[in-house]
């Protein structure tokens, strides 16, 4: 055996060993981080506290519950979610929180697999690049969801998994997953009209049936009347017409509700810094908010691109329209903290796949368009990720949240998505 061949074999062996070492090291770091987060409990402790109240048949809503950071929070989720957590509510908080975080890591992996399945990307290197850059742009939201033991990873997985099951005509399984997600937190409800538009009647019907079933299933434990009372109490705190949902001045809120009224109406935020560019009365500011919200919803038609009750033109096109609908969820709903921003992940993965396909074609006439899309992605990265307190410091981070740079980042991702049209056939792209 020649020295060169022997050297190559040793190099390959070292490479495999190095990969294994890096995987083990990375896994240890992840587990250590999950243990640290689980010790704090995060918002999942609030869910468990609410479940304990549910077990005692006590009121869940408008009750301040201990949170993982030593503070207190209100419970905004459904009675059904509290019912599901009953088996875990009497365990030490660390155990169910750690299990939840481990599940979140798996669901994050599953989300990447589901999104990539739409992308028509076969090159493994390209898949890794798409996932790496997408994770980099959304790492703030991933960290916030894990650190706060929140629900957005689960909600995004539920949306993507159910839609994939509907494509396979597994409507009962898909309806179960989507119906439960909508019951737990109302946000995925925006995909019900999408199912109707795409003519997925069985999928829509199954989802509706499961939503109804999950609303009333806790009555088996609580009794009919008390379950109805909890449902009324739940609606009372999540009703979007509540005054606290018309204008949000909290630093941690990032949506149109937090952005638009603050630009149009003089309001006192957490920082003494002026934000409004005009000074309309609050009713006019809220009217403009609802007009802009409606415009974003109606703009979905731009992405659908077909008449109602017809299939999408390609899997890339389907991801394009799904990505936009998921993207506008944290914009159009009130009371959306940073963790809801993870819903932009499909859009970001689509955009990186689009750029990889576009640059691989190498057409000089498309150079300007590609540069615009790339610029918008970089700009959104600066507004969303580079404004983290770990990068710019706590004081500048508070200022960035005061001026809602994250919300502008969502909107810029939406503009980039609108400019990145898929073609009519597999693998084709349009400028």
Q: HEC profile for 76-128?
A: CCCHHHHHHCHHHCCCCCHHHHHHHHHHHHHHHHHHHHHHHHHCCCCCHHHHH
pLDDT of residue 426 exceeding 70: no
Q: Which of 204, 112, 137 is nearest to 341 (CA)?
A: 137
The predicted model gives 390-398 an average pLDDT of 94
The predicted model gives 303-312 an average pLDDT of 91
**Cβ distance 199 to 148 under 8 Å?**
no
Which residues fall within 8 angstroms of residue 127, CB to CB, at 6 or more apart? Answer: 116, 121
Question: Torsions phi, psi of 168, nearest 5?
Answer: -90, 10
Radius of gyration for the chain, computed over Cα atoms and rounded to the nearest angstrom = 23
Model confidence over 315-357: pLDDT tens digits?
Answer: 999 999 999 999 999 999 999 999 999 999 999 999 999 998 8
C-alpha dist (Å) from residue 359 to 221, 365, 371, 387: 58, 12, 10, 29
- Both structure tokens of 193: 């009209």
Q: Which residues, listed in sequence order, are joined to residue 65 by a DSSP beta bridge?
A: 73
Q: In angstroms, rounded to a whole number, what is the distance separating the alpha carbons of residues 61 and 74?
A: 7
Q: In angstroms, rounded to a whole number, what is the distance separating the alpha carbons of residues 113 and 151?
A: 19
Q: What band does 10 get if pLDDT is binned at 50, 70 and 90?
A: very low
Model confidence over 363-375: pLDDT tens digits?
Answer: 554 677 889 999 9
> What DSSP assignment string belongs to 215-257?
HHTTHHHH-HHHHHHHHHHHHHHH-TTSGGGT----TT--SHH
Alpha carbon 282 to its chain centroid, in Å, reads 29
Model confidence over 241-291: pLDDT tens digits?
Answer: 888 788 888 889 999 999 999 999 988 778 889 998 999 999 999 999 999
Does residue 45 or residue 3 have the better pLDDT? 45
The pLDDT of residue 20 is 82
Q: In angstroms, rounded to a whole number, what is the distance separating the alpha carbons of residues 93 and 89?
A: 8
The pLDDT of residue 14 is 53
Does residue 65 or residue 68 have the better pLDDT? 65
- Both structure tokens of 304: 């659908």
Q: Which of 172, 190, 213, 203 is nearest to 80 (CA)?
A: 213
Q: Among 44-58, 110-124, 158-172, which is the least confidently predicted range?
A: 110-124
- Both structure tokens of 189: 């409800």
Q: In angstroms, rounded to a whole number, what is the distance separating the alpha carbons of residues 247 and 261?
A: 6
Domain ranges of the chain: 248-431
pLDDT of residue 99 exceeding 60: yes
Q: In angstroms, rounded to a whole number, what is the distance separating the alpha carbons of residues 30 and 226?
A: 42
pLDDT of residue 9 exceeding 80: no
The pLDDT of residue 172 is 98
Mean of pLDDT over the chain: 90
Q: Which residues, listed in sequence order, are joined to residue 401 by a DSSP beta bridge?
A: none
Q: What is the 3-state secondary structure (H, E, C) of 365-408?
A: HHHHHHHHHHHHHHHHHHHHCCCCHHHHCHHHHHHHHHCCHHHH
The pLDDT of residue 429 is 47
């Amino acid at each position: 055996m020649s020295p060169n061949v022997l050297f190559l074999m040793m190099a390959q062996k070292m490479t495999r060993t190095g990969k294994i070492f890096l995987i083990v090291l990375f896994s240890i770091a992840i587990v250590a981080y999950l243990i640290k987060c689980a010790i704090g409990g995060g918002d999942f402790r609030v869910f468990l506290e609410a479940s304990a109240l549910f077990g005692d048949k006590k009121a869940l809503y408008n009750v301040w519950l201990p949170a993982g950071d030593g503070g207190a929070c209100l419970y905004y989720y459904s009675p059904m979610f509290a019912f599901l957590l009953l088996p875990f509510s009497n365990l030490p908080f660390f155990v169910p929180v750690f299990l939840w975080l481990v599940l979140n890591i798996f669901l994050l992996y599953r989300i990447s697999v589901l999104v990539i399945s739409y992308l028509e990307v076969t090159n493994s290197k390209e898949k890794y690049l798409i996932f790496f850059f997408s994770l980099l742009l959304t790492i703030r939201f991933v960290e916030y969801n894990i650190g706060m033991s929140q629900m957005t990873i689960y909600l995004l997985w539920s949306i993507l998994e159910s839609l994939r099951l509907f494509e396979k005509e597994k409507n009962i399984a898909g309806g179960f997953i989507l119906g439960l997600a909508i019951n737990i937190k109302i946000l995925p409800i925006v995909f019900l009209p999408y199912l109707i538009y795409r003519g997925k009647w069985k999928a829509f019907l199954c989802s509706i049936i499961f939503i109804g079933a999950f609303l009333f299933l806790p009555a088996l434990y609580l009794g009919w009347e008390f379950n109805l009372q909890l449902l009324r109490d739940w609606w009372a705190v999540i009703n979007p017409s509540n005054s606290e949902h018309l204008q949000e001045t909290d630093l941690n809120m990032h949506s149109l509700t937090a952005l638009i009224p603050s630009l149009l109406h003089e309001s006192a935020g957490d920082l003494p810094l002026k934000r409004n560019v005009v000074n309309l009365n609050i009713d006019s500011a809220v009217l403009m908010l609802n007009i802009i919200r409606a415009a974003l919803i109606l703009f979905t038609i731009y992405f659908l691109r077909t008449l109602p009750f017809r299939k999408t033109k390609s899997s890339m096109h389907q991801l394009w329209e799904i990505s936009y609908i998921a993207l506008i969820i944290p914009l159009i709903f009130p009371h959306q903290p940073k963790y809801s921003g993870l819903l932009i992940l499909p859009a970001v993965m689509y955009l990186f796949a689009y750029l990889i396909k576009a640059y691989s074609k190498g057409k000089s006439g498309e150079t300007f368009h590609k540069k615009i899309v790339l610029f918008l992605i970089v700009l959104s990265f600066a507004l969303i990720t580079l404004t983290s307190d770990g990068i710019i410091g706590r004081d500048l981070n508070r200022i960035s949240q005061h001026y809602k740079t994250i919300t502008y980042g969502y909107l810029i991702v939406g503009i980039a998505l609108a400019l990145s049209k898929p073609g009519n056939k597999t693998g084709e792209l349009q400028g």
